Structure 1
Amino acid sequence: MNGPQKPESHYPPPWQLKGEGIILLYRFPKKWINEHPLIPQYLKGQFKGGFGYLMLVNYYDSPVGPYKELLLIPGKFKPENKQSITHIIVNSENSTQNGRYNWGIPKITLPIIWESSKGMDSIGVGEEDEPIFFCKISYKGFSFPVSTKILPLKLYQEWNGKGFKTEPKGSGWGKLAKIESLKINPKRFPDVSQFKPILAIKVSPFNIDFPKPSTMT
């Protein structure tokens, strides 16, 4: 049987989500992505480059309720300059099961702690005895508009032999941000801490729409 299993509690697309987030913009080396052991097999050797994104998201409102996530989009892959979410962790099993079924997004469920103080977010991902990711991000200054019209997302995902194409649309208000601390367990998540981001943005608030994908088997 192709494709992910339908969840017991299914929330079909489109999804409209609201929240806040952090976007770190990179240009990762082709060799590093193409040879990385954690990159999905269907993308091996296909990396072309372009902008890559590390995103941390705190959804206040979604069809499955509030949840948090960490995700990586390394850049563009052959053919068709497609983008893929290669790694994504959320703290909601409902989000995991629906994300796999609706869009082929390879979510896994783990604890995520997100603490905010004035001008600073501290985010931890993973079990307490086996942390995967920890960061402190500061932000300040004036707000400016942020939109997928400027940095579009054209996602291609494969899950259990089924392909999904999705083009999320989102917008919000951003402030310039800075990494104060970043620690990653390289056995569980690609260690982007060895690279300096081109740009870091705190986006709050934002809205994003995940439409029904086009699928192929």
Structure 2
Amino acid sequence: MNGPKKPEYYFAGPWKLKGEGIILAYKFKKEWVEKNGFLKDELKGKFKGGLGYVMLVRYTESPVGPYNELLFIPGKFFPDKKQSITKIYVDSESSTQNGRYKWGIPKETVPIIWQKNGKTEIIGVGSEEDPILFCKISSGGIPFPATTKILPINLFQELEGKTFFTNPKGHGWGKLAKIETMKVNSDYFPDISKLKPLLCVKINPFTMEFPLPEQNVDQQ
């Protein structure tokens, strides 16, 4: 059977998650995405545009326990104008295995540190000696409601010969944020360090639900 291998410890969907995170929104150029976006062959030449995201997430509650995450969504792709996660790291092997199997999300497991210093988040992804990404992001101001109704996520993922369509929903409270420091190893993640985001928001707290994918119902 095509598709990712079923995890040894399998947690059926839908998943309900809680936590906090940072959303960086961009309008990436097509040429930049084709060169730097870690596109698989089935996505090359199909970039439509729209908002792209880099997300740093700290899940405090999930079916596999707490874990941290870094992900990249370039924007929308033809023909369905859906989004796709093209690069993603988490620090939980159980999250990796379940995410790949259930939703076709190409997760990879690496260490992630997440520290707080007042209003500043200090986040390191990968090894301390040669990090994939290191950043300092500060936030503050008046909180405002944030929801996927404003910044919708409608995913198309293809992994190991199987396709997955998922429309996660989330809501929480946001504050405006600012990148203080950003360093990226372009061998392992799109180098956004020289790009200015349209919007940088700290969401705390948030609640999110990852429903069952439209296809792949045999894995419930």
Distance 2:128 2:121 in 1: 18
Q: Secondary structure at the match of 2:96?
A: helix
Q: Map Cα deviations across residues 17-38 of structure 1 (whole Å, 9 max, x no partner).
A: 0000000000001111123372
Contact 1:136 1:180 in 2 (8 A): yes
Distance 1:32 1:76 in 2: 14
Contact 1:52 1:75 in 2 (8 A): yes
Q: Secondary structure at the match of 2:99?
A: helix
Q: For residue 49 of structure 1, report the CA deviation from its aligned partner.
A: 0.6
Q: Runs in 1 of length 4+ with deviation above 6 angstroms?
A: none
Residue equivalent to 1:80:
80
1:94 maps to 2:94: yes
Contact 2:37 2:86 in 1 (8 A): no
Q: Map Cα deviations across residues 99-121 of structure 1 (whole Å, 9 max, x no partner).
A: 00000000000000000121110
TM-score by length of 2: 0.96
Residue equivalent to 1:103:
103
Distance 2:106 2:79 in 1: 20
Residue equivalent to 1:13:
13
Contact 2:3 2:159 in 1 (8 A): yes
Distance 1:125 1:36 in 2: 18
> Structure 2: which amino acid aligns with 1:187?
D
Contact 1:124 1:133 in 2 (8 A): yes
Range that drifts further, 47-56 or 121-130 = 121-130
Contact 1:35 1:45 in 2 (8 A): no
Contact 1:35 1:44 in 2 (8 A): no
Contact 2:36 2:191 in 1 (8 A): no
Distance 1:185 1:134 in 2: 9
Aligned-CA RMSD value: 1.0
Distance 2:53 2:37 in 1: 19
Q: Secondary structure at the match of 2:36?
A: coil
Q: How does 1:31-50 map to 2 (within 5 A)?
A: 31-36=31-36, 38-50=38-50
What are the ranges of 5 or more consecutive residues in structure 2 without an aligned counterpart? none
1:133 maps to 2:133: yes
Distance 2:148 2:18 in 1: 15
Distance 1:35 1:165 in 2: 25
Sequence identity of aligned pairs in percent?
60
Question: Judging changes above 3 Å, is the alpha-carbon distance between structure 1 residues 110 and 44 closer, same or farther for their aligned structure 2 residues?
Answer: same
Distance 1:37 1:66 in 2: 28
Give the count of matched residue pairs.
216
> Structure 1: which amino acid aligns with 2:166?
T
Distance 1:129 1:116 in 2: 20
Distance 1:84 1:127 in 2: 26
Question: Judging changes above 3 Å, is the alpha-carbon distance between structure 1 residues 4 and 205 closer, same or farther for their aligned structure 2 residues?
Answer: same
Q: Map Cα deviations across residues 118-172 of structure 1 (whole Å, 9 max, x no partner).
A: 1110000001232110000000100000000111110000010000000000000
TM-score by length of 1: 0.97
Residue equivalent to 2:150:
150
Distance 1:22 1:36 in 2: 21
Distance 1:37 1:145 in 2: 30
> Structure 2: which amino acid aligns with 1:214?
E
> Structure 2: which amino acid aligns with 1:176?
L
What are the ranges of 5 or more consecutive residues in structure 1 without an aligned counterpart? none
Residue equivalent to 2:176:
176
